[in-house]
Structure 1
Amino acid sequence: MYISKYREVFLLINKQHKHQHRTMGPETVKAPSHREMCPQRPEGEKPEHTFRKKTKHIGMKKVIPQPACVDTGKRDKQLLEKSGFVPFYLQKNDYGIVPGYLRRRNAEKEKPKQDNDAWLTKQRETVKPLPEQEKQNILKGLKRRFNELNSEYQSLPFALFPSQYTKYNYKKFLEEKMSKLEKNIAIFEEHKYIYVSREDTSDQQQNNNSVQR
C-alpha cells in the first residue's frame, strides 16, 4: 500500500483549518440594510402591485336544490313557489301600490270635477240668488203673459193655410212665444233657487230707483 511522505503534514494542516470555513463562506454574513432590500422609487412613479390572478373554477356547476313540498304519502312533491303556500305577491316591491295607469285614469276622472268646481266658485263670485219675493213676481208676470198670448192664440181660426200668410205667421209667432214662456215657467217652478248675475241686479236696482224718483 502506497503512503505519501507528506501525509502527516497534510493532516496537521487540515486539523488547523478544519472548522474555520464550515459553510464554505465567511464566518459572519452581513445582514442587508432596509434601503438595500427596499430600494427607493423615483418621484411620480406608481408602485407595481403583484398579485396572483384568480383562476376560474373549471368544473361542474353547483346545483342548488329547489324548495319543494311533499303533500302525499307516496312522496309526490311539487315546487313550493308554485304550490300557493309561499306569499309570492306579498314579497313584491310594488305590492300595495296603486298602478300608474289607475292613477292616470283617476286623475282624468277628477279633472272635469275640479274644472266644474272651479267654474262654480267663479260663478258664485259673479252671481247672487234671486230674492223669493222677486222670484214670485217674475213667475206671476210670466203666467199672466202666457195667459194673454194663449187667449190671442185661441181667438185665431182653427184651420189656417200658408196662403193666409199674415195670420199663419202670427200663429207661428204665438206658438214660439208660448213655448219659451212654458220653459221659463217650468224653470222657476222646479228650482228653489234662481241665480242671476250681480251686474243685472245692480242695473235693475238702478232702474227701480230711477222709476221711484
Structure 2
Amino acid sequence: MSEVEYPRESVYNLIPRDEVQTEKQQRYMSKYRPTVVLEEKSTKDAMRTMGPAKVEVPSPEKFLKKHSKEPKLPEKTQCSKDVRHSCTVKKPAVPAMTDTPPMGIHTKRDFIKTATAVPMKPQPTCVDTRKGHKQLLENSGLVPKYIKKKVFLSTSLHTRTI
C-alpha cells in the first residue's frame, strides 16, 4: 500500500529491516444483509427478463393474428333479431288534414290583447366606452333634470311675479 520500496543497490538496503505488519480492522458487514439479499432475490430476480417468469408461453399453433385483440361483439340471438328499435314508446301519428283539432281547451291568456299591445320603448341611454358600456341618460347628468322639478317651477313663477 504505502510502503516505500527502495532500489536494491541502495545504501538504505544494506541493513535488513524488519517488516512491520499492520493489522486491518474487520470490514463492516450489515446485520440486515441476509434479509436484504433474500428480498432482492424474491422480488427482482423473478422479473429480470421482460416480465414475470411464471407466465405461460403460448403454443406456436396459436400465434397472434390480425384483429385478435379487438373486443368482439356478442353473437346475435333470436330475440335481438326480432326487435329492431330500442325505443318502446312510439310517437303519435301526424294528424291528417281531415282531422279536427280537439275543442273546448280554454286558457286564461288573452290573445287579442297580447297581439294589439304596444311594444315598450327602450329607456334613453348614453354609451360611455367603445366596448359598449351603457348608462341611463337620466342618471348620467347630461339631461337638465332640475328644470323639470315641480319645486323649481313653483319658485320660478314666484320670482317672476315679483
TM-score normalised over the length of structure 1: 0.18
Structure of higher RCO (CA pairs closer than 8 Å, 6+ residues apart): 1
More helix by share: 1
